[in-house]
Amino acid sequence: MNVLTGRAIRRGGRAGLRRRRSLVGLFLLVAAAGLAACAGGDTGGGDVVNVYSHRHYEADREIFRRFTAATGIEVNVVTASADELITRLRNEGAASPADVLITVDAGRLHRAAEEGLLQPVRSSDLEANVPARFRDPAGHWYGLTQRARVLVYHRDRVDPSTLTSYGDLASPEWSGRVLVRSSSNVYNQSLLAGLIARDGLEAAERWATGVVANLARAPRGGDTDQIKLVAAGVGDVALVNTYYLARLAGSSDPEDRRAAERLAVRFPDQSGGGTHVNVSGAGVTASSRNVENAVRLLEYLTGDEAQRLFAEANQEYPVKPDVPWTSILEEWGEFRADTADLSVLGALNAEAVRLFDRVGWR
Amino acid sequence: MEVALRRWLPAVRALPVGWTAAALLLVALLTVPLAVVAVGAFAPAGEAWGHVATTLLPEYLLHTLILALGAGGLALVLGVGTAWLVTMCDFPLRGFFHWALVLPLAVPAYMAAYTYAGMLDVTGPVQRLVRWLTGAGPDAFLYWNVMRIEVLALIFGFVLYPYIFLLTRALFEGRSGRALEAARIMGRGPWSIFLRIALPLARPAVVAGLALVLMEVLNDYGAVAYYGVTTFTTGIFRSWFAMGDLDTAIRLSAILMLVVLVVLGMERWQRGAARYDEAGGGRPVTRYRLRGGAAAAAVVFCFLPLVMGFLLPVGQLGLWTARTAPAVVDLSFLRMALNSFVLASGAAALCVGVAVVLAYAGRIDRTPLTSSAAKLAMLGYSIPGAVIAVGVMVAVLGVDRALTGGTALILTGGLGALVFAYLVRFMAVGYLSVEAGFTRIGANLGSASRTLGASPLRTLFRIELPLLRRAVLAAGVLVFIDVLKELPLTLILRPFNFDTLATRAFELASIEQVPQSAPAALLVIGAAAVVVAVLHRTFSLEARQ
Amino acid sequence: MRGATTVNDSVPDGFDGVTVADPARRTTCRGAGSATAPSNDMLRLDGVAKTYSGTSAAAVSGIDLSVADGEVLGLVGESGCGKSTLLRLVAGLEVPDRGAIRLAGQPVAGPRAWTPPERRGVGMVFQDFALFPHLSAASNIMYGLFSMPRVERLARTDRILDLVGLSGLGSRFPHQLSGGQQQRVALARALAPEPRVLLMDEPFSNLDSALKRGLRAELAEILGRTGITAILVVHDAEDVMALADRVAVMRAGRIRQIESPDFLYQQPRDEYVARFFGETNILHARPREGGFETAIGFIPCAMAAGRSGTVRLCLRPEHFHLSIDANGNAGGCASGCGDVPGCGKAGRPAVVRHVRQSGLHRRIVLMVETGSPGGASLTVDVGPEPHLVEGDTVYVQPKPGCLHVLQGEVAGEV
């Protein structure tokens, strides 16, 4: 190496070092200031309500904003999976800052209530907004939206009259035609829990065994993937929640819309026990220090404005009876839902998972 | 044992007390959350334990093994191969590959998994292209089952190989001088040198990189869950989420931790007395000039991981972003970007600082004490973030209780707790990189400084750190990128109303709005890519002046 | 043993130009591990042992050693014999498993003592120099002077650059210096803080031989001028003889012998030491009345008295008398045997196998007829005359009194 250039390197290196050192210092200062600033957010006193939510929907933020605008109550949110939030609640105990827990299935709410993490609350508005079967009798939790687990089939390849019940998915004629996602998904778990409660463990196990035998491919991906695979002809029928198809039909991608056009919805068990319905719901935490605000939030969430927004933004069925459905849901029509007590979904959840594992539904 | 003790005792007396104490204190702090998990292993088994252990474990283990072997093997070939090419060979675009090959690190594994599924999906761009090319009607859907364990292993390999690339490249560059040139002079061909000299020399870096890759594979949940592949980690979450049995989840995590500990220990033991220190600085080597077919092959070999691990996922995210950005992107992105950046840089700076203290204490203490303890602090990288979150929660809550008697939460739900959790989680990344840097400097310069009357602290600041700055910056960048894309810890432990780009991307992806999650994901990747590029520019400017 | 008082006036090359150190600095030779520690001991090691983790053999063990103030001690031995470890133990870079180390009477390592390297006041020159690559030569030298006022620091740096002959090169960075210059910077850096003891680990191993000779002389001068206590690890006998007042020969982690360089050459304790200091002939011998019976004949020597069994004799190449005919006409008595009794008689016939020019002398390898098949090979020095070539027959005979009996008995017959 040339001596001169070598020298230059070292000079540059040292000057660079000094420059970098001051840069690093500046950077650390900014970082510290930033951390301090970010850590802000009043979660204690004042007019606030603190929410732990498993609902990751953009619409929810908008709904909270409107609630704040209407009531002046600040809404602070942490979103994560319900199980993680329940663990956080349990660990924080009486000191927990959370006032409201929102989940996407009744089973988790039931589990939280069983652990004493939720407190019963009552209000005439809540009772008026939420029909009895969508809430805990003692008032530990209230449903916010309904989700129906339905059959989506290919218009050209399936005669809807041959597809009337969940039970059909287990019959031999559907061999190699059924698509469904993994059993680690909570919607499948609550469906099976519902079937166990309604038909008994043995019948449920026979059904699950039959479905596994009929699968077009091993369970993977989400509900949307199952729907697209039906459109692609990999299978003929998929077991999914309604709003995934509704969302695909309303997608900004023309390919998605074209795929959705080939598909139709079938509400199963209309002549039997009714279609499986779960709710996403909310409860007030046992440790809440803003119970009044929490109840006002629940009242708002079950009220007309929020219910309409839930429906529009995410194509979910509102729990409040007189709130209008979206046009797609209207088009699919009314259906008979399973009216069994939703808290059994939580009680039987672990049982359902063990059953899934026994029959090899991954 | 007794012999070992007798040998150690004098060395223990000669410990640099302040440093050892500081290092052990830091390790103790960092391992409290892990200890919470480890203790869980001895708690009475939860109800799900028997079920998981009998019906699921064999399959989970098999899948985990397949993923680890597939991803590890591919990452090894790509990482070491590309590192060798860019340091020892001259071919077109070498300078570009030298830094660009790090880029796939910016792509979160789960995001890559989503994009590949989306890309090959029936409504995805590939099928569209095929339909357009063949003139087939809109109904002519094809079905490629890409959501398979083999594919997932490849995806992991393509996005994680940069860990091996980075560490191995640094090592080839550092020690390039003597050994490799000596071998060349002895008339060895490039392949022979690569296999017989370079690989064995690069072993510590390769092993460190491979350890990081495997630990990433072990703790992944997002990608395996989406691809329906059951692994040890899905077992942990199945016990916890589906069966509500946190005890079993923790017990499984403890087993995972133990396995990793044994593997790390075995590597150490097998390395034995072999030394990998190198003395003196490396000067640039004379590279092999590749021509014609060989040059083309090298370009292709380097492009492959860059395309598969970076360009394709980013391209797909770009397509989605173009479609969804108008509806999704708003001013809150600015806030989230700031949160992400501040959090990642703060955590990276702290993590590297702690890593330097641990590695330096281990270097000067002459006993296996500190370096063994530091191994413990690395375990956090191997177990799922959500489980660490539980450990951190318990630990931080303990402090809160001690401070307030359980009436209020001071640290819990604060950013301090979150940053602490990052340290627990990513100490392995910082420590391994910094330690590799120390190894590269060799021990003599530090010894020389000490004999000239400089204390360990002075030696660290005046001699080691200036020579270590590449390794320190590289470690910082790795941790920065890791924190930038980190999910479970951020989700569970963050304060109210605190969103980062990664959490936003994940929230949308988890409700099956993957296209809508693309803008945030693209920003995460973009930020990481910018940092990688800037770092590279700094280094290359310095070298060129 | 110490009866051999013969002083050879013909010394091997390496001995020419020895810088004889100031006699005041030279202390009386003490055997290893002498029981009492004189007060002028700068460094003292008692029973020091060190085994590296992961190895079973001790790197050093049972080291007893003392170095007087101002003394220059050489440490020699084959590679891996523990020389460098000993140095690192003294510097405080390694911790001894057993034993104690004292510096100027103060314990710095031992059962209840530990002083870290930075507080020992021991300077060290590393084998690879270990110059800080990011600091200039001057900054390297100033590095150890940080507690000094700036003005003084600069002044001393200038002075010491001058001392090692590097004036004007202080702003260069290590990679801009030649090997020899780097070596000087390393030495200057170690000397700058005025350490109590200077340790040098193979100071010449990275240099070519021309450079080495020059530096060796300079180093000898600097050591003499500064009067510093020093330990040099060297693997070359020439180097150590040129520089050290006393030399410790190490093997397998232990000190085999520690004496002045001359003494080691004349009276090596064993074959290892003997071979380390120059070429030598080792002969198995049986003591007889008035001398030793060897393969090359009877050698009269008073040292045979009182011995039995088989012993080994050490005969340096210059310890032979050579004649070109059976009558003992001296063609070239290897060394001036003068009127030594026995000189002048015919020796054993031998055939010249190899001739090598070595300075003024020629070193030849002879094959001596011994009666047993193959004969015995001897290395012998001769003067410029007579001219011998391969295949010539000569008569060789050891000079009486020149031989040295090595320690230890040998099993079996001659």
CATH number of the domain that residue A271 is part of: 3.40.190.10
Provide the sign of the torsion angle of the four alpha carbons B336, B337, B343, B348, taken in this order. Answer: positive
The rounded percent of chain A whose pLDDT value lies above 70 is 87
* Domain assignment present for A337: no
Q: Which value does ipTM take for this structure?
A: 0.81
Average pLDDT over residues B250-265: 79
Domains and CATH numbers, chain B: 15-46+245-271+327-545 (1.10.3720.10), 57-240 (1.10.3720.10)
- pLDDT computed for residue C17 by the predictor: 32
Residue A325 pLDDT > 80: yes
- pLDDT computed for residue B175 by the predictor: 55
| Chain C residues in contact with B467 (beta carbon < 8 A) | 133-134
- pLDDT computed for residue B73 by the predictor: 95
Residue B227 pLDDT > 80: yes
Residue C155 pLDDT > 80: yes
Residue C26 pLDDT > 90: no
| Chain A residues in contact with B494 (beta carbon < 8 A) | 78
Q: Same domain, yes or no, for C152 and C91?
A: yes
Nearest to A177 by CA among A259, A233, A240: A233
Provide the sign of the torsion angle of the four alpha carbons C133, C139, C141, C145, taken in this order. Answer: negative
Q: Same domain, yes or no, for A302 and A181?
A: no
Nearest to A211 by CA among A186, A238, A234, A229: A238
Q: Same domain, yes or no, for C182 and C287?
A: no
Q: Same domain, yes or no, for A132 and A185?
A: no
Q: What is the DSSP letter of C104?
A: T
List, in order, residues 6 or more apart from C410 with CB less than 8 Å away. C284, C309, C310, C311, C312
- pLDDT computed for residue A35 by the predictor: 53
Query: What is the DSSP track for A259-283?
Result: HHHTEEEE-TTTTTT-B-EEEEEEE
Decide which of A350 and B540 is more confident: A350
Could you give the angle at the alpha carbon of B451 between the alpha carbons of B447 and B452, nearest 5°?
A: 115
Residue B92 pLDDT > 70: yes
Query: What is the DSSP track for B385-406?
Result: HHHHHHHHHHHHHHHHHHHHTT
* Domain assignment present for C4: no
Q: Same domain, yes or no, for C311 and C260?
A: no
* Integer Cα distance of A306 and A326 in angstroms: 14
Q: Same domain, yes or no, for A261 and A284?
A: no
Contact between residue C273 and residue C256 where contact means Cβ atoms under 8 Å apart: yes
| Structural domain ending residue among the three candidates C248, C276, C304 | C276
Residue B89 pLDDT > 70: yes
Q: What is the DSSP letter of B436?
A: H
Q: What is the pLDDT of residues A106-155, one digit of tens each?
A: 989 998 999 999 999 999 999 999 999 899 999 999 999 999 999 999 99
- pLDDT computed for residue B285 by the predictor: 59
- pLDDT computed for residue C32 by the predictor: 37
* Domain assignment present for A215: yes
Banded pLDDT at C327 (limits 50, 70, 90): low
Among A59-63, B98-102, B304-308, C290-294, the least confident range: C290-294
* CB-based burial, B45-60: b 16+ in 10 Å, e otherwise: ebebbebbeeebeeeb
Assigned token pair, B195: 């296999």
Contact between residue A152 and residue A223 where contact means Cβ atoms under 8 Å apart: no
Q: What is the pLDDT of residues B373-405, one digit of tens each?
A: 888 888 888 777 877 888 898 888 888 888 887
| Chain A residues in contact with B286 (beta carbon < 8 A) | none
Q: Same domain, yes or no, for C64 and C138?
A: yes
Q: What is the DSSP letter of C304?
A: G
* Integer Cα distance of B351 and B478 in angstroms: 11
Provide the sign of the torsion angle of the four alpha carbons A23, A25, A30, A34, taken in this order. Answer: positive
Q: Same domain, yes or no, for A130 and A57?
A: yes
The answer to whether the bond into C386 is cis (omega within 30° of 0) is yes
Could you give the angle at the alpha carbon of C183 between the alpha carbons of C179 and C189, nearest 5°?
A: 140
Could you give the angle at the alpha carbon of C370 between the alpha carbons of C368 and C373, nearest 5°?
A: 100
Q: Which residues pair with C378 in a beta bridge?
A: C366
Q: Same domain, yes or no, for C270 and C364?
A: no
- pLDDT computed for residue C10 by the predictor: 36
> From the centroid of its chain, how far is CA C297?
32
Question: Does A13 sit within 8 Å of B242, measured CB to CB?
Answer: no
Report in angstroms the alpha-carbon separations of C95 from B18, B449, C201, C227: 18, 18, 18, 28
Q: Per 3-state DSSP, what percentage of chain B is helix, strand, and coil (rounded to 5)?
A: 80, 0, 20
Q: Same domain, yes or no, for A107 and A179?
A: no
Phi-psi region of A150 (alpha: psi -120 to 50; beta: other; left: phi over 0): beta
- pLDDT computed for residue A6 by the predictor: 33
The answer to whether A287 contacts chain B (CB < 8 Å) is no
Quick check: helix, strand or coil at residue B375? Answer: helix
* Domain assignment present for C108: yes
Q: What is the DSSP letter of A161?
A: G
* Domain assignment present for A102: yes
- pLDDT computed for residue B4 by the predictor: 56
Average pLDDT over residues B434-443: 83
Q: Same domain, yes or no, for A75 and A168?
A: no
Q: Which residues pair with C101 in a beta bridge?
A: C45, C109
* Domain assignment present for A318: yes
Question: Does C51 sit within 8 Å of B14, measured CB to CB?
Answer: no
| Structural domain ending residue among the three candidates C246, C276, C306 | C276
- pLDDT computed for residue B410 by the predictor: 78
In what helix (H) or strand (E) does residue B139 lie, and over which residues does it extend? none
Nearest to B447 by CA among B286, B267, B325, B277: B277
Residue B137 pLDDT > 80: no
According to DSSP, the β-strands at A237-241 and A178-179 are: parallel
User: How many residues can be counted in chain C?
Assistant: 414
Among B240-249, C22-31, C99-108, the least confident range: C22-31
The rounded percent of chain B whose pLDDT value lies above 70 is 89
Could you give the angle at the alpha carbon of C76 between the alpha carbons of C73 and C82, nearest 5°?
A: 105
Average pLDDT over residues C253-272: 87
| Structural domain ending residue among the three candidates C221, C244, C276 | C276
In what helix (H) or strand (E) does residue C368 lie, and over which residues does it extend? strand C361-368
Could you tell me where the DSSP H helices lie in B365-494?
A: 368-377, 385-404, 415-441, 444-451, 456-459, 465-485, 488-493
Selected residue of A4, A10, A14 to mutate for chain C interface (largest C Cβ count, 10 A): A10
Q: Same domain, yes or no, for A265 and A301?
A: no
- pLDDT computed for residue A38 by the predictor: 47
* Domain assignment present for C247: yes
Q: Same domain, yes or no, for C322 and C177?
A: no
Q: Same domain, yes or no, for C251 and C207?
A: yes
Q: Same domain, yes or no, for C253 and C298?
A: no
Banded pLDDT at C236 (limits 50, 70, 90): confident
Structural domains counted in chain C: 2
* Integer Cα distance of A187 and A103 in angstroms: 12
- In chain B, which among 465-524 make CB contacts under 8 A with chain A? 466, 469, 488, 491-492, 494-498, 503, 507-508, 510-513, 515-516
- pLDDT computed for residue A29 by the predictor: 58
Q: What is the pLDDT of residues C170-184, one digit of tens each?
A: 999 998 998 889 989
- In chain A, which among 177-236 make CB contacts under 8 A with chain B? 181-184, 186, 189, 217-225, 228-229, 231-234
Banded pLDDT at A30 (limits 50, 70, 90): low
| Chain C residues in contact with B273 (beta carbon < 8 A) | 52, 54-55
Structural domains counted in chain A: 2
Contact between residue A114 and residue A283 where contact means Cβ atoms under 8 Å apart: no
Average pLDDT over residues C92-97: 90
Q: Same domain, yes or no, for C255 and C380?
A: no
One-letter identity of residue A247: R
- pLDDT computed for residue A55 by the predictor: 92
Q: Same domain, yes or no, for A346 and A244?
A: yes
Q: What is the pLDDT of residues B506-538, one digit of tens each?
A: 888 888 888 889 999 999 999 888 888 887 777
- pLDDT computed for residue C9 by the predictor: 36
- Packing angle of the helix pair B514-544, B332-364 (nearest 10 deg): 50
* Domain assignment present for C413: no
* Domain assignment present for C44: yes
Assigned token pair, B220: 């992944």
Quick check: helix, strand or coil at residue C48? Answer: strand
- pLDDT computed for residue C399 by the predictor: 78
* Domain assignment present for C22: yes
The answer to whether B145 contacts chain C (CB < 8 Å) is no
* CB-based burial, A80-107: b 16+ in 10 Å, e otherwise: bbbbbbbbbbebbeebbbbbbbbbbbbb
- pLDDT computed for residue A264 by the predictor: 93
Could you give the angle at the alpha carbon of B454 between the alpha carbons of C231 and B20, nearest 5°?
A: 105
Contacts 24+ apart (CB under 8 A), C92-96: C92/B450, C92/B451, C92/C116, C92/C117, C92/C120, C92/C122, C93/B447, C93/B450, C93/B451, C93/C117, C93/C124, C94/B366, C94/C50, C95/B10, C95/B11, C95/B13, C95/B14, C95/B366, C95/C50, C96/B10, C96/C48, C96/C49, C96/C50
Residue A301 pLDDT > 80: yes
First and final C-alpha spacing in chain B? 55
List, in sequence order, every beta strand (DSSP E) within B106-150: none
CATH number of the domain that residue C25 is part of: 3.40.50.300
Q: Which domain holds residue A346?
A: 147-276+342-359
Q: How many other CB atoms sit within 10 Å of the CB of residue B381?
A: 25
Residue C202 pLDDT > 50: yes
Task: Find where tokens 């300075």 sit.
Answer: C359
Report the residue from A78, A181, A218 with minimal CB separation from B494: A78
* Domain assignment present for C348: yes
Q: Same domain, yes or no, for A166 and A265?
A: yes
Residue A67 pLDDT > 90: yes
Q: Same domain, yes or no, for A291 and A318?
A: yes
- pLDDT computed for residue B345 by the predictor: 92
List, in order, residues 6 or more apart from B29 with CB less than 8 Å away. B420
Task: Find where tokens 């191997």 sit.
Answer: B382
* Domain assignment present for A119: yes
Question: Does C134 sit within 8 Å of A3, measured CB to CB?
Answer: no
| Chain C residues in contact with B447 (beta carbon < 8 A) | 88, 91, 93, 117, 124, 126, 130
List, in order, residues 6 or more apart from C309 with CB less than 8 Å away. C286, C287, C409, C410
* Domain assignment present for A235: yes
One-letter identity of residue B193: I
Q: Which domain holds residue C367?
A: 281-405
Selected residue of B15, B366, B452, B461 to mutate for chain C interface (largest C Cβ count, 10 A): B452
Nearest to B347 by CA among A26, A35, A37, A36: A35
Decide which of B173 and B36 is more confident: B36
> From the centroid of its chain, how far is CA B505?
20
Q: Same domain, yes or no, for C136 and C182?
A: yes
* Domain assignment present for A334: no
Q: Same domain, yes or no, for C228 and C342?
A: no
Q: Same domain, yes or no, for A242 and A266?
A: yes
CATH number of the domain that residue C331 is part of: 2.40.50.140
Q: Same domain, yes or no, for C75 and C192?
A: yes
Nearest to B114 by CA among B224, B220, B229: B224
Report the residue from B283, B400, B497 with minimal CB separation from A76: B497
Provide the sign of the torsion angle of the four alpha carbons B123, B124, B125, B129, taken in this order. Answer: negative
Average pLDDT over residues A161-176: 91
* Domain assignment present for C212: yes
The answer to whether B60 contacts chain A (CB < 8 Å) is no
Report in angstroms the alpha-carbon separations of A68 from A71, A139, A343, C237: 5, 24, 31, 91
Q: Same domain, yes or no, for A155 and A265?
A: yes
Assigned token pair, B439: 């190894």
Assigned token pair, A312: 């529009």
Report the residue from A30, A232, A357 with minimal CB separation from B55: A357
* Domain assignment present for A32: no
Question: Does B458 sit within 8 Å of C123, measured CB to CB?
Answer: no
